[in-house]
């Protein structure tokens, strides 16, 4: 075989190998991607027939005042709102020290029931002036929240 043909075969095999590697990488990345939704966005997304509620996602908004309820089994139940829509969140585990009503929160978990979000992780603000960027932006867009 001529060196010209050997180089051609090598280039074709290298391109094929890189294509397979890139495809596997992108597929793996897509499977582990976690989307962020506000309650209004999630309610709208639920209407999409291709929406998979068993896929992990993040739900962010404000903890509704008066909605935090401790359950007998050690869990907690509260409502996350974006001042337009609301979702009930159930969580079992230790809450962040700064978690409280009226503050920004991001819950990571899955939507098992129509309006109940089962969280496996809760993130809360870390100082007096911080709210997760996605939550603040979504609340500003709703036009019903003004940053203090």
> Domain range for residue 13?
1-33
Torsions phi, psi for 71 (to 5 deg):
-100, 160
| pLDDT for the residue numbered 80 | 92
**97 contact partners, CB below 8 Å, separation of at least 6:** 124
Same domain (yes/no): 59, 82: yes
Q: Is residue 147 part of a domain?
A: no
Instruction: Determine the Cα–Cα distance for residues 77 and 88; give it in Å rounded to an integer.
Output: 7
Same domain (yes/no): 108, 120: yes
Same domain (yes/no): 81, 97: yes
Instruction: Compute the average pLDDT of residues 1-27.
Output: 88
Instruction: Determine the Cα–Cα distance for residues 1 and 40; give it in Å rounded to an integer.
Output: 65
Query: Residue 148: which pLDDT band, with cuts at 50, 70 and 90?
Result: low
**Sign (positive/negative) of CA torsion 7, 9, 11, 14?**
negative
Same domain (yes/no): 49, 96: yes
Instruction: Determine the Cα–Cα distance for residues 148 and 145; give it in Å rounded to an integer.
Output: 9
Q: Is residue 66 part of a domain?
A: yes
What is the pTM for the complete model shown? 0.69
- How high does pLDDT run on average in the chain? 83
Residue 137 CB neighbour total at 10 angstroms:
13
What 3-state DSSP class applies to 134? helix
Query: Residue 127: which pLDDT band, with cuts at 50, 70 and 90?
Result: very low
Q: What is the pLDDT of residues 51-74, one digit of tens each?
A: 888 888 999 888 898 999 988 888
């Amino acid at each position: 075989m001529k060196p010209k043909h050997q180089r051609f075969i090598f280039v074709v095999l290298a391109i094929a190998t890189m294509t397979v590697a890139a495809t596997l990488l992108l597929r793996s990345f897509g499977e582990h991607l976690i989307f962020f939704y506000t309650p209004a966005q999630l309610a709208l997304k639920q209407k999409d027939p291709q929406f998979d509620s068993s896929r992990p996602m993040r739900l962010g908004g404000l903890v509704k005042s008066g909605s935090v309820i401790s359950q007998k089994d050690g869990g907690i139940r509260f409502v996350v709102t974006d001042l337009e829509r609301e979702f009930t969140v159930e969580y079992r585990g230790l809450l962040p020290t700064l978690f409280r009503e009226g503050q920004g929160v991001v819950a990571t978990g899955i939507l098992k029931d129509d309006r109940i979000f089962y969280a496996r992780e809760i993130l809360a603000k870390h100082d007096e002036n911080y709210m997760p960027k996605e939550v603040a932006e979504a609340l500003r867009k709703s036009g019903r929240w003004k940053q203090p």
